[in-house]
Chain A
Amino acid sequence: MSTTTTPTTTPVAPTLVDRAQYGLAAFLVVVGTYVGYDAWTLEAGFSDQPVQPYAIPYVVAAGLVVLGLLLAVATARGDRPEAEDGEDVDLSQGTDVRTVALLAGVLVANIALIDLLGWAITGALLFAGAAFALGSRTWVRDLAVGTALSVATWYGFYVGLGIPIPAGVLDGVL
């Protein structure tokens, strides 16, 4: 997703081209081509399958490629995306790449550690880390809130809902 790191340009003259959209168009074409290739590797279905397993994938593949090309043409003609607005969204500034990268890093750390450490620990780190990335600087409080949340949700799921979330390294402690 290299396309996501390009800063959002503020609305200016309509002749300006949003180059990042070419990246999205290329992404669509690549995905479409792969879906088509994947469909091509499928064998004919059973005799009771009137719709071949590759039929719909071919349609989807063709659709993705055509849409990618259309988007490229539209982009070249000066089509600009209307980025999503929201209560807390301030589109007058560019994309804050650092915050997004930090948040993604926190999520990746959670993925890497959750099997080893278990949700009760990684969840707390996830919350505190995300709060830090978003600009909170009250370390102790963030960790305390995160720990309270993760331990409470672990017990809530385990006891309240009967969903046994693996405890990881804390197995036997919790």
Chain B
Amino acid sequence: MDLLLDGFQTALTPGNLLFAAIGVLLGTAVGVLPGIGPAMTLALLLPVTYTVGADSAIIMFAGIYYGGMYGGSTTSILLNTPGESSSVITAIEGNKMAKAGRAAQALATAAIGSFVAGTIATVALWIVAPTVADLVVTLGSPSYFALMLLALFAVTAVLGASKLRGFIALFLGLTIGLVGTSTGQARLTFGNPLLADGIDIVVVAVAVFAIGEALWVAAHLRRKPLEIIPVGQPWMSREDWRRSWKPWLRGTAYGFPFGALPAGGAEIPTFLSYATEKKLSKHPEEFGHGAIEGVAGPEAANNASAAGTLVPLLALGLPTTATAAIMLVALQGYGFNTGPTLMDEHPDLVWALLASLLVANCLLLLINLPMAPIWARLLRIPRPYLYAGILFFASLGAYSVNFQAFDLALLLAIGLLGFAMRRFGIPVLPLIIGVILGPKLEEQLGTALKISQGDVSTLWSEPVAVAVYAVMALLLLAMAVAGLRGRDSGPAGPTDTRGSDERELVER
């Protein structure tokens, strides 16, 4: 409790409040802006961490993280083109509401629902994260190694549509992570001394998120402007409130636990929440035509799961979303030992972050409700400037790491890889997690084997490790069974109707 109060003291200093405000404003802006998301923004802002204090930078990043969620819902409601898979549902119901002239109510239930969910989930985070960290700190290297494997496996295989493509991304990431001389010998450096320290993760992150995305959008840029639904001041009637509060709470209950699992991801809880609301609603006929419950529940689930992802990030050092991965990179950039010991070694920093989440959430409600019409205007930004700006800041970010033109060449090469990945439907997240966790995995394996003096059986000598491997085996089995059943029902042709896609995801 004292730690939490100290955290608030740090988070509420004028300087850090300013960083929180910058964070939520930036976060909302990039959430609204098409083609740019919180992960890309954090990647572009990583150079800032070289000089700004750790607490201020992390507080700003937390603001961007939460802000991106709020802003993303605005885009999906007003444009009907979800930026992320987690806001697909919001786009379905929210855009229908907007088209029916209820954009203000859709935005309001999304914003207030996000606030409610974010607040509850942040409080849950205060309780869960330290408990988990205390538990994990007692585990040995074998168990920690197993947990890392589970996180890699889950992010790769459980999320995303194609397992094969997930693993392709993961192994490409592991390959990039191999580069360097961390083992005393040069691996994959092509004799280039500039590669001796490995490929800077900042360059990799900026390349796949910013360059890859900008090139991909450039290749398929919409030539006619999107139809944007005009919106006024968000507000809700008494009836809207009555229909919204239960979905908010149920969405939170789905979102937080799913986010907190080492598999993470906001997709599954948002779909579950949608399915639940549809079943429980007194107005099932409205679903698909703009039911407010269908916006309230999934939006709350989305935000709660965002808070939940911070549990594995802070307590285990395992990122499960792209944004969390970049936050981990930032923490590592400060030289912090990310992992179960982080909360013990730097309680001031972690609690400042945890307290600032609540601050960010309140700020977001304040800036989002009255300013929604202004945010909506961002959607009209000229696209050449938007994407030229992304390329500009990406180059600047990569260059400022070492002032090496070589880094810019790497940026372009990996950016082209990111472009190809989007073309071939290969998810980006497993790659970035592979780059981050690959070297740590090798290190942890080394530690475990050193203690056991090379005896490999040490890897399954701890009960937690055995349990984790059992979970992985079960997941594999479930995947195999699902794969076989899928094959029985004939070759899965491209089913483009949103309805069937949605059902598949709900049932998964």
**Assembled-state Cα–Cα distance A74/B483 (Å):** 14
Q: Which residues of A contact B34 (CB under 8 A)?
A: 86-88
Q: Give the docked Cα–Cα distance between A163 and B162 (Å).
A: 42
Give the chain A neighbours of B219 by CB distance below 8 A. 95-97, 99-100
Interface residues of B in 40-73 (CB under 8 A from A): 47-48, 50-52
* CB-based contact A38/B187 at 8 Å: yes
Restricting to A5-62, which residues have a CB under 8 Å from any CB of B?
Answer: 8, 11, 14, 20-21, 24, 28, 31, 34-35, 38-39, 42-43, 45-46, 48-51, 53, 56-57, 60
Listed A/B pairs (19) with beta-carbon separation below 8 Å: A4-B420, A8-B220, A21-B424, A38-B187, A50-B450, A53-B183, A53-B187, A67-B171, A87-B81, A89-B221, A95-B423, A100-B219, A107-B395, A107-B408, A108-B412, A119-B399, A127-B388, A142-B384, A163-B47
A115 to B409, CA, bound (A): 13
By Cβ-Cβ distance, the 3 closest A-B pairs, closest first, are: A87-B34, A50-B449, A81-B425
Chain B residues in 8 Å Cβ range of A145: 385
Pick the contact of A67 from B167, B218, B494 — CB < 8 Å?
A: B167
The answer to whether residues A83 and B214 also contact, given A64-B175, A104-B412 and a CB cut-off of 8 A, is no
Chain B residues with CB below 8 A from A163, complex form:
47, 50-51, 400
Q: Which residue numbers of A lie inside 8 Å of B, CB to CB?
A: 1, 3-4, 8, 11, 14, 20-21, 24, 28, 31, 34-35, 38-39, 42-43, 45-46, 48-51, 53, 56-57, 60, 63-64, 67, 70-71, 74, 78-91, 93, 95-97, 99-100, 103-104, 106-108, 110-112, 114-115, 119, 123, 126-128, 130-136, 142, 145-146, 149-150, 153, 157, 161-163, 165-166
- Smallest distance from the beta carbon of B221 to chain A beta carbons, Å? 6
Q: How far is the CA of A162 from the CA of B51 in the complex (A)?
A: 7
Closest-CB distance, A66 to chain B (whole angstroms): 9
CB of A43 within 8 A of CB of B35, answer no
Q: Report B506 CB to chain A, min CB distance, Å.
A: 18
- Residue ID in chain B nearest A99 by CB atoms: B218
Contact of A90 among B221, B382, B446 (CB under 8 A): B221
Q: Is the CB of B369 closer than 8 A to any CB of chain A?
A: no
From known contacts A89-B216, A96-B218, A103-B218, infer whether A38 and B412 are also in contact, taking CB-CB under 8 Å.
no
Q: How large is the interface on B (under 10, 10 to 19, 20 to 34, 35 or more residues)?
A: 35 or more
Of the candidates A50, A131, A134, the one whose C-beta lies within 8 Å of that of B446 is A50
Q: How far is the CA of A99 from the CA of B161 in the complex (A)?
A: 29
Q: B289 in the interface, Cβ–Cβ < 8 Å?
A: no
A145 to B164, CA, bound (A): 44
- Starting from the known contacts A84-B422, A126-B391, A130-B392, 6 additional A-B residue pairs (CB-CB under 8 Å) come to A50-B449, A87-B81, A88-B35, A106-B391, A149-B389, A157-B400
Instruction: Please indicate the chain A residues that have their CB under 8 angstroms from the CB of B178 in the complex.
Output: 35, 56-57, 60
* Residue in A46, A104, A153 whose CB lies within 8 Å of B416: A104
Q: A162 — nearest CB in chain B belongs to which residue?
A: B51
